[in-house]
Amino acid sequence: MQEVKSELLSGAYGEARLQEPMAPHTTWKIGGPADLLLIPQAKSQLVEAVKLLHQHQVPWTAIGRGSNMLVTDKGIRGVVIKLGDALETVHIDGETITAGGAYSFIKLSVIAGKEGLTGLEFAGGIPGTVGGAVYMNAGAHGSDVSRILQRAEVLLPTGELATLRNEDFKYAYRHSLLQSKPAIVTEAQFKLRHGDRKEIAAAMAAYKDRRLRTQPLQLACAGSVFRNPDGHHAAKLIEEAGLKGLSVGGAEVSRLHANFIVNTGQASAHDVLTLIDQVKATIQSRFGVNLVPEVLVVGER
């Protein structure tokens, strides 16, 4: 690892920082240090970095905007690769929109709407990257990535680039192939449809208004914590169990939206994980329903 650190710190693969706290790089504002944080400035640097890490068998973790993720208090061993400017590209060709893996999913939906393209309106409230959305099969308002993705370019752990079609991702609810066979989404292509700009804008405005009224966006959070169980809504179950406002340390079940856990100021990952376990146990006891977290827990336990 020391040899790899020296190589990465040379600047040839982008900006590198030792023992970088991860809290500033996540929307929950929680997380211990990464052994080394690497921010490639070009796609070629990203590819060469992954090849180097593969050659030396150094573990790595890729992040985008740090949403839908909880980094443990001990932090992340190995190298954390943060995707930034190198993968923030966008191109529109007719009804097809292609975006880099680090491009904001919300921003992409706005651009599509301004171009009169419909199909991405649901993404207007998903605070992550295109790559993260493809990885999680992100969705809202009755739609998700699986309905519009045509293909994506991914960087394999070996450092090779490959193209996967929609069916290759084996999409299911908040699930894709990448959750069992990790790879970095470098670019994704979506097939949309021409629509009425006014109708698209109205739908997005309605979604935004609902989001502002129902989600605790003024506090550090990571989006919905639990997946919706079959036949149920996680938020409704948690609210009916009287768990709004339940807290552990600095972590609290949002009083505005029961499926959000907010950082009220000094929450630790341990606080959040303890609160998740308490909520799960209560819902299992009260309703016989097993809540499954959709947030990714990353780092040393």
Is pLDDT larger for residue 127 or for residue 188?
A: 188
Strand order in the sheet with 15-21: 15-21, 33-39, 76-82, 60-63
C-beta of residue 81 within 8 angstroms of C-beta of residue 34: no
Active site residue ranges: 174, 224, 294
> What would the mean pLDDT of 273-299 be, rounded to a whole number?
97
Domains annotated for the chain, with CATH where assigned, are 2-85 (3.30.43.10), 88-200 (3.30.465.10), 216-298 (3.90.78.10)
Task: Determine the Cα–Cα distance for residues 108 and 206; give it in Å rounded to an integer.
Answer: 17
pLDDT at residue 85, rounded to an integer:
87
User: Mean pLDDT score of the chain, rounded to an integer?
Assistant: 96
> What's the gap between Cα 78 and its chain centre?
20
Could you give the CA distance from residue 285 to residue 282 in angstroms, rounded to a whole number? 5
User: By percentage, how much of the chain surpasses pLDDT 90?
Assistant: 91
pLDDT digits (tens, 9 = 90+) for 190-207: 999 999 999 999 999 988
- The lowest-confidence range among 173-187, 205-219, 284-298 is 205-219
* C-alpha torsion 276→279→284→285, nearest 10: 140
Residue 8 makes CB contacts below 8 A (sequence gap 6+) with 16, 36, 38, 49, 52, 79
Confidence of residue 127 (pLDDT cuts 50, 70, 90): confident
Structure tokens at 93: 């060709």
Q: 295 pLDDT band (50/70/90 cuts)?
A: very high
pLDDT digits 0-9 by tens, 5-64: 999 999 999 999 999 999 999 999 999 999 999 999 999 999 999 999 999 999 999 999
- 2 pLDDT above the threshold of 90: no
Count of helices and strands (H, E) across the chain: 7, 18
Q: What is the CA radius of gyration of the chain?
A: 19
